[in-house]
A and B are shown apart, each in its own frame.
Chain A
Amino acid sequence: DTEVTQTPKHLVMGMTNKKSLKCEQHMGHRAMYWYKQKAKKPPELMFVYSYEKLSINESVPSRFSPECPNSSLLNLHLHALQPEDSALYLCASSHGQGGRQPQHFGDGTRLSIL
């Protein structure tokens, strides 16, 4: 079992819908990450939160909106997505100590855009 929990596991939405992906960890980690992974590809970093502040935004379209309500929770709000946004969305967390601590990944949310 993973220590990073993501919900829902699967999500199907239309291009006009608004939905949110949720991620939770209780390891005391202070850095949390969103990745996008297309089939047969490595994960691509989207956002990083460090101590609940957005520290990295990899030029992600504004239809993806991250939120970190507290040190244990990370959300990704979705609005007006495109079919090409269909992918596995992975959340990860780490102690954030200068990159020395590895990232721990959740099992992801598989998103399908109709």
Chain B
Amino acid sequence: AQSVTQPDIHITVSEGASLELRCNYSYGATPYLFWYVQSPGQGLQLLLKYFSGDTLVQGIKGFEAEFKRSQSSFNLRKPSVHWSDAAEYFCAVGSRLNTDKLIFGTGTRLQVFP
């Protein structure tokens, strides 16, 4: 069965520290991969996406993610976290065949201390 796992429910970092949010997927083939961020009371904002090609993708707000096929992972990173990055982060996969259905991970809540 297709699934997305975000092992960390809650992460706390200090402002200025580096960040890595983990995402692992189970899929029959290479899926489309996305990271979304959701601030309280807001909808989901796309941070970055991977379809093919270069396995290191750059996104908005200084985020990047690396696709590792051998590990079925798509981890999100940021070298220096800002207080405004505190939010819920969702990893999602989309099928190249079943076009409209996204499978979301359970999310990771990021808390940033000054």
**Interface of A toward B, CB cutoff 8 Å:** 2, 4, 6, 31, 33, 40-43, 45, 48, 50, 55-56, 90, 92, 94, 96, 98-100, 102-108, 110
Contact = CB atoms under 8 A, between A and B. Distances in A.
Main secondary structure of the interface of B (DSSP, over half): loop
7 contacts: A33-B100, A42-B106, A42-B107, A56-B100, A92-B44, A100-B51, A107-B43
Contacts of A56: 100-101
Contacts of B44: 43, 90, 92, 105
Given A56-B100, A99-B32, A41 B94 contact: no
Interface residues of B, number: 24
Interface in B24-53: 32, 34, 36, 41-46, 49, 51
B99 interface: yes
Interface of B: 32, 34, 36, 41-46, 49, 51, 90, 94-96, 98-102, 104-107
B111 to A, nearest CB: 14
Nearest to A100: B51
Contact of A4 (B34, B43, B95, B105): B43
> Which residue of A31, A99, A100, A110 has the most chain B CB atoms within 10 A of its CB atom?
A99
Nearest to B32: A99
A84 to B, nearest CB: 19
A6 B104 CA distance: 22
A108 B43 contact: yes
Given A41-B106, A42-B90, A99 B45 contact: no
B95 A43 contact: no
